[in-house]
């Protein structure tokens, strides 16, 4: 089973940070992606990255790579934002494409449930969106928002190693369960 992990955005992406500038989204996304890779490899899955730690990778390059590799699932990891100032928006949500396959929806539901259980954050649910990484991939694909950079409490969590590990373990647990469903 081949899994493509995408640390959303890139190291040079403008914006995509907490209002105080202490948290850049890619630093959270890539840290969690690295942990997810480690945990999934330990479970016997083959893991590839759609992103690059050194430079921004376009959305088209990410989805084309996943399609060429014929991976079994595409997992895009993000930290959310609502506007550019501190506010009360909070919680975790997982996205699928509006006409997503049953496999995408099943994977999204497993990941969302696992994250809520592990992280004890507000459950914003599984939602549908026309995001390029969901639309252009030819395999089950999800986009995860692990908390809001524009919420002071969640921004503090997103900076913590422990919270990053919680998110990564929850994502890995759900992806492993999905990958091995009916095979154990």
**Residue of 80, 70, 92 whose CA lies nearest to 140:** 70
Show pLDDT as tens, one digit a residue, over the chain (184 residues): 999 999 999 998 877 999 999 999 999 999 999 999 999 999 999 999 999 999 999 999 999 999 999 999 999 999 999 999 999 999 999 999 999 999 999 999 999 999 999 999 999 999 999 999 999 999 999 999 999 999 999 999 999 999 999 999 999 999 999 999 966 4
Domains of the chain as residue ranges with CATH: 2-179 (3.40.630.40)
Q: Residue 154 catalytic?
A: no
C-alpha Rg value of the chain to the nearest Å: 15
**Residue of 7, 27, 52, 39 whose CA lies nearest to 159:** 27
Catalytic annotation, pick one of 25, 93, 145, 154: 145
126 exposure class (CB count in 10 Å sphere: 0-12, 13-18, 19+): buried
Place of tokens 């999204």: 108
């Amino acid at each position: 089973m081949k899994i493509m992990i995408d640390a959303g955005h890139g190291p040079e992406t403008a914006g995509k940070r907490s209002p105080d500038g202490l948290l850049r989204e890619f630093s959270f996304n890539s840290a969690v992606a690295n942990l997810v890779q480690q945990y999934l490899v330990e479970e016997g899955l083959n893991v590839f990255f759609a992103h690059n730690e050194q430079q921004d990778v376009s959305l088209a390059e990410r989805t084309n790579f996943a399609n060429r590799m014929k991976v079994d699932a595409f997992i895009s990891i993000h930290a959310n934002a609502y506007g550019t100032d501190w506010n009360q928006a909070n919680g975790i949500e997982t996205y699928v494409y509006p006409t997503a396959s049953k496999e995408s929806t099943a994977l999204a539901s497993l990941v969302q449930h696992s994250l809520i259980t592990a992280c004890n954050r507000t459950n914003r649910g599984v939602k549908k969106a026309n995001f390029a990484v969901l639309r252009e991939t030819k395999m089950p694909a999800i986009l995860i928002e692990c908390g809001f950079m524009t919420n002071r409490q969640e921004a503090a969590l997103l900076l913590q190693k422990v919270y990053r590990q919680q998110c990564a373990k929850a994502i890995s647990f759900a992806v492993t369960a999905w990958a091995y469903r009916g095979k154990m």
